[in-house]
Structure 1
């Protein structure tokens, strides 16, 4: 087992996650198996209760782990599935050691940072290295900066660790603002970072330093990555998507959503323009208080090719999101609602089509006479952490006549990651479907509404899950792919082809015109439910 530790200095956010992901991509292209651990020095047990303004998006894993967004980078770059134990925090390690002390595992000894905390860190890393995501190498990334007080136990643990596993099995990449052995200058896109590192001989360095079993042969994965980066640089046409949310001033809050849009835009050979719209700016109250902001927000919305309402929590800005959804429905503008976005699409439809003027979610109005979105029975309202429906779940398609089913490769089911406490009220399913809002996907028990489509609309789709978490640079997410196709007017052609092409596969290296018969027809995918 080989270990590559990535640390950073001077400032946090210098790019350790991108470097770690890029190094992993290069090693994987050399035929090695790679997995990653993100170490966060904060005392929180996990990222589940963070505000998006604190650390950005909370990324959700298959097992329901709510983790740092860097693990999303690892999964996207390496195309692997990680677990909650791949995110180690100070809170987790202290909880682990304290639980052992309470059980008497230390036999009455004084429990200290050294050796007990540092030993527990090393044991955690070695244990995760043996779990078969992949087995040749493990890349731990230490968050924060070297020198921070909270990082000291981890620094000491790895100081000891290098002697435990021997020099030939351990090396450290330190990311700094000072150009050193490997210099990473600004590049045209994030997809060029692995190529930049490879060009500077990082593979040869690892070959010498860690004696890795790397064959000197053409690396197909890296060639595919280069083709993708080249195509990204040659894109000419632009697709604009209005992202209507409440955290738009901090783009990391929607990190995976943005990446999913980028992956899909690249798959259809278009540049992506995201028009960030604070949903509160669309509300009538803003017209009275700040008319300029109100009109600017609506101008952005009306000029976009498609509309996306992502997930979120809390009542602030929900009426603005409902306004955007109503506009997209009436103007037949391509629309995708994710998690809360789907729930609000049902609220909007109930108010404006069914005539239930006070229709709402019980999250926002517990006393509404038309609770179209309700609290799930297993949710404990008195506790925030770890109370959501989390992780990978299976959704069964209820009909063959579904755009989403076709986008997923005409499969009977899909598996995506969830993160929610509320759901569409199943009692109202019949009323909604009679007016054209079809629930084409439900959970395996047939109790939860998980995919909704509107009849007689170019693309009006809501999904309860978060498809962005499984989007990959060369395997775009089907819902986002469908939104982008519809936004540039190419979805009908794609569907007319019989949807024998699933969007989750490698795509063409050509970057010519964006005619319907060009690159999309080269998308050839295995089953959508394969890893």
Structure 2
């Protein structure tokens, strides 16, 4: 097993996750099996109880793990399926050590950070690195480990010490350290400054880890003199300083890294045995970046949410819309609308804000209502669903977005004016949304309906069934506590709201579609969690297609994109002659950069 540790310096939020994901993608493109681990040095057991304003989106995995949003980056870039143990937190480590102590595993010994906590971290990494993530039973060959936070954070010290020991435990030939550091450029001087990076590297080396690669993050491309200065003061060659400036999209990052010989360096440093060349997959990523940069057609989607002040709260939703837009060769501009602003109470207090919100909604090409918790903003979401239904505007509801669509329909079509969710109005005489029987109200963490579940299509003629390729069943990830009340299904369906997808037992309503509407679809699950750059999520693709008036054409074509819109992302094996020619080439790490054609 080969391990690549990615740490960060100066400040957080400079793209460690994207860098780590891009490294993994490049190695996977070379034919290696790659997995990833994200370390979050907070005491929470998982991300499930976080406010979206704390750490952004809570990302849900197949096994129901509620984890950091960076694991979404890894799954999207590498097209793999991770597990809850791929997200390590300080809380998980301490919980496991304390459980062992209570069982007597350390009987007679004083339990300390070193060696007990550091050993637990190392053992966890070694165990999880072997878990298959590609849908087969083959163990990974490379593990990318991202250490959250920045070097020097007090909460991250046990992890840094653990990896100082770990490099000797697995032998240096199997361990590589990549440090991502900010190179600021103050407006007052316009000069790129290396002192913060020097200080960060000095701190890292003082803790016993010496970086093999330094990724210099900057707003503008790093000039050669700055690169050489980092090399001189940070004890690496200039070729080991990788420069990553701000790009128009994350899809430009893997080709940017590849153009700086990083694939060759890792092959030599870790003695990696490449099975084929990354050219084909890299070309697909270059095509993604090219589409993003050159596409002129723009559509607007109104995202009516509750946490719009922090876009990371909807990062997977945003990525899903982006994937769908790129597949259709159009750019999706997202209008973030705070659900509160659409409510009548806002009209009375802040009429300007109310009218601006409605103007944004009415000028959009489509409407998306994502998930959320709590009563705040609910009536605004109901109003958005009503407007989309009455004005034949493409609508996609996700999780709570399905529930508010049901509430709106019950009030304004079925005539049940007090219809509501049991979560928001326990005294309603028409509780069209009810709490799931198995939900544990006495404990907060991990008690919802989480992870991958099977949905069966009930109807033969369904828009989403067509978008899913005519499958009889699908598997998607869930995260919810409330569901549509099955008691009222007959009344809803008699008026045209069809529940075309249900759980295996038939009790839970998973997909609704509205008859006579261009695209009014809502799902109880979260399809954004398994959207991929070259394989967009079906519900999101349907929303984008409907918003550009191409949905019917797409379905008539058998739900296939035209050849010019398809990505050539299949990484077929190289012939024996090609591999022999590849291996005969010198892969030494020289000062000359290889061209994209050579890669």
Give the Cα–Cα distance (whole angstroms) in 1 for the partners of residues 488 and 569 of structure 2. 39
Cα offset, 1:187, TM superposition: 1.5
**C-alpha contact (below 8 Å) 2:280/2:569 kept by paired residues:** no
Question: Following superposition of structure 1 onto structure 2, how do residues 186-225 of structure 1 map, counting pairs within 5 Å?
Answer: 186-214=246-274, 217=277, 219-225=279-285
Instruction: Select 1:309's aligned residue among 363, 369, 385.
Output: 369
Partner of 1:440: 500
Query: Deviations 1:273-322 (Å, cap 9, x if unpaired)?
Result: 00000000000111111111001100100000000000000000000000
Instruction: Select 2:171's aligned residue among 166, 171, 178.
Output: 166
Partner of 1:516: none
Question: Following superposition of structure 1 onto structure 2, how do residues 195-274 of structure 1 map, counting pairs within 5 Å?
Answer: 195-214=255-274, 217=277, 219-274=279-334
Partner of 2:128: 128
Query: Deviations 1:143-201 (Å, cap 9, x if unpaired)?
Result: 01110000000000000000111111001110001335001011221100011000001
Residues 1:157 and 2:154 aligned together: no
Partner of 2:441: 381
Residues 1:353 and 2:358 aligned together: no
Partner of 1:450: 510
Cα offset, 1:79, TM superposition: 0.2
SS at match of 2:93: helix
Change (3 A) 1:407 1:263: same
Give the Cα–Cα distance (whole angstroms) in 2 for the partners of residues 273 and 284 of structure 1. 27
Q: Which moved more, 1:328-337 or 1:286-295?
A: 286-295
Residues 1:279 and 2:339 aligned together: yes
- Moved beyond 3 Å, runs of 4+: 215-218, 522-525
Instruction: Select 1:145's aligned residue among 150, 154, 162.
Output: 150
Cα offset, 1:524, TM superposition: 11
Partner of 1:98: 98
Query: Deviations 1:466-525 (Å, cap 9, x if unpaired)?
Result: 0000000001000000000000000011122233x3x7xxx85x4xxxxxxxx37x8999
Cα offset, 1:229, TM superposition: 1.4
Change (3 A) 1:523 1:116: closer
Partner of 1:107: 107
Give the Cα–Cα distance (whole angstroms) in 2 for the partners of residues 472 and 287 of structure 1. 40
Give the Cα–Cα distance (whole angstroms) in 2 for the partners of residues 34 and 208 of structure 1. 17
Question: Number of paired residues?
Answer: 510
Partner of 2:46: 46
Cα offset, 1:107, TM superposition: 2.1
Give the Cα–Cα distance (whole angstroms) in 1 for the partners of residues 569 and 107 of structure 2. 59
Give the Cα–Cα distance (whole angstroms) in 1 for the partners of residues 542 and 311 of structure 2. 22
Cα offset, 1:219, TM superposition: 2.8
Gap runs ≥5 in structure 1:
511-518, 526-531
Query: Deviations 1:396-420 (Å, cap 9, x if unpaired)?
Result: 0001110000000000000000000
Give the Cα–Cα distance (whole angstroms) in 2 for the partners of residues 218 and 204 of structure 1. 11
Cα offset, 1:228, TM superposition: 1.7
Q: Which moved more, 1:219-228 or 1:349-358?
A: 219-228
Cα offset, 1:382, TM superposition: 2.1
Gap runs ≥5 in structure 2:
134-138, 184-215, 217-229, 231-240, 571-599
Tell which structure's C-alpha radius of gyration is larger.
Answer: 2
Give the Cα–Cα distance (whole angstroms) in 1 for the partners of residues 129 and 269 of structure 2. 19
Partner of 1:514: none
Give the Cα–Cα distance (whole angstroms) in 2 for the partners of residues 468 and 253 of structure 1. 13
Query: Deviations 1:366-405 (Å, cap 9, x if unpaired)?
Result: 1110000000000122221111000000000001110000
Give the Cα–Cα distance (whole angstroms) in 1 for the partners of residues 409 and 275 of structure 2. 58
Change (3 A) 1:36 1:419: same
